[in-house]
Amino acid sequence: MVRRDGSDHYEPISWDGAFDLVAEHLDAGADHVAVQALQVDKRGVPEDQWRALAEPLTALTR
């Protein structure tokens, strides 16, 4: 989910879209970007999601 500038609601975003958005912020000079991983059932720690995000997000900072 992402809330775009000027919007008052969140909208779905694809993984590729999310990675592109993070890359845009980093390319614009951001020194950090917050990404929150959530589980579908909203219980427990989203370890699988963190593992899935680790490599692609790390690649953006290289």
**How many domains does one find in the chain?**
1
Give the type of residue at 32.
H
The whole-number pLDDT of residue 36 equals 82
Residue 5 domain-assigned? no
Residue 20 domain-assigned? yes
The whole-number pLDDT of residue 62 equals 54
Residue 8 domain-assigned? no
- Label residue 49 left, alpha or beta by phi (over 0 means left) and psi (-120 to 50 means alpha): alpha
The whole-number pLDDT of residue 60 equals 82
Residue 54 domain-assigned? yes
Question: Would you list the DSSP string of 6-27?
Answer: T-SS-B---HHHHHHHHHHHHH
**What pTM did the predictor assign?**
0.70
Residue 1 domain-assigned? no
The whole-number pLDDT of residue 38 equals 75
Residue 32 domain-assigned? yes
Residue 6 domain-assigned? no
> For 18-61, what is each residue's pLDDT tens digit?
889 999 999 999 988 888 877 777 788 888 888 888 888 888 86
* Stronger pLDDT, 7 or 15, i.e. the higher one: 7
Residue 21 domain-assigned? yes
**Helix, strand, coil abundance in the chain, percent, nearest 5:** 45, 5, 55
